[in-house]
Amino acid sequence: MNTTTIVSILAAVVVTSIVFIGIRQMRRRARIERLRKTTANENTYNHALGLLSDIPGQYLNAELKLLLVNQMEYASRQLTRLRADLPAQNWLESCQQTKQQILDNGDDRKPVKIDSPERAGEVKGRLQSLATLIEGMHKDGKIDSATARKNLKYLRFLAHKTDADMHVFQAREYVKQNRIQKAIQAYHLASTELGKSRDNPIALRAIKSFRTRIRELEALNVDGKETASTGLQARRDRESGQPLHKEERMTKRADNDS
């Protein structure tokens, strides 16, 4: 075996080894990329599902619900194509059922009371997460600019409404406690919050309703003060009248003795 043959054989071995290593690296990269896509789509599905479940029912209109369900449906389809070790097909079927319920107005999610600043903060945080999701969908070309602007504007209104709902809840509690002035202040705060979204017809109707309620409470507060003032004056009259009656009885007794 001459030198040329030996060199050729060695070269072939080297080339074969390089090709083999290259194929292994390509497969490894493909597995890593598949795992990355699987994780990303699973996170996308879970994030959208969490927002759909956690945002109170009174804040999600049909369009926002459909945006979330569409995001979940997209992630489910991607996971099905990736043949991920997940129940992606079941998720996809569930998304399609939920979408049909929304379109048929059969998706009734219970409203949640916004009864504290902490609760309001939690809801606003989830609304902000939804806004970020919509911005991402627009960036990825899943929704157009008009749809993104419309829904982001509505989410800003919902953030103001969250604080307003919290103030309204506090106002009603103050009324139950007969703390009318505190209730009036709370309704004023609610009106101020919704005043930040005056271009929204729901906000305008609510502000009008708050002002009517404020006038009612102011009238009630005045009546209450007048009643309290009348009662206090009567008590003072009774107290001031007691010594007079005592003096009259002493005078009568003295007259009788004389």
CA-wise closest residue to 34 among 26, 22, 46, 44? 26
- pLDDT level of residue 223 (50, 70, 90 thresholds): low
Q: How confident is the model at residue 236 (pLDDT cuts 50, 70, 90)?
A: very low
pTM, 2 dp: 0.75
pLDDT at site 224? 59
pLDDT over 80 (residue 9): no
Confidence of residue 227 (pLDDT cuts 50, 70, 90): very low
**Confidence label for 1 from pLDDT (cuts 50, 70 and 90):** low
User: Cα–Cα distance between 191 and 194 in angstroms, integer?
Assistant: 5
Instruction: Give me the mean pLDDT over the 197-207 stretch.
Output: 93
Find the mean pLDDT for residues 155-173. 96
Domain residue spans of the chain: 9-109
The mean pLDDT value for 35-41 works out to 90
Cα(248)–Cα(232) distance, rounded to whole angstroms?
A: 25
- What is the percent of the chain with per-residue pLDDT over 70, rounded to a whole number? 84
257 has a pLDDT exceeding 80: no
| Residue 126 pLDDT | 96
Burial of 198 (0-12, 13-18, 19+ CB in 10 A): exposed
Amino acid, single-letter form, for residue 122? E
Q: Do residues 218 and 195 make contact, with C-beta atoms less than 8 angstroms apart?
A: no
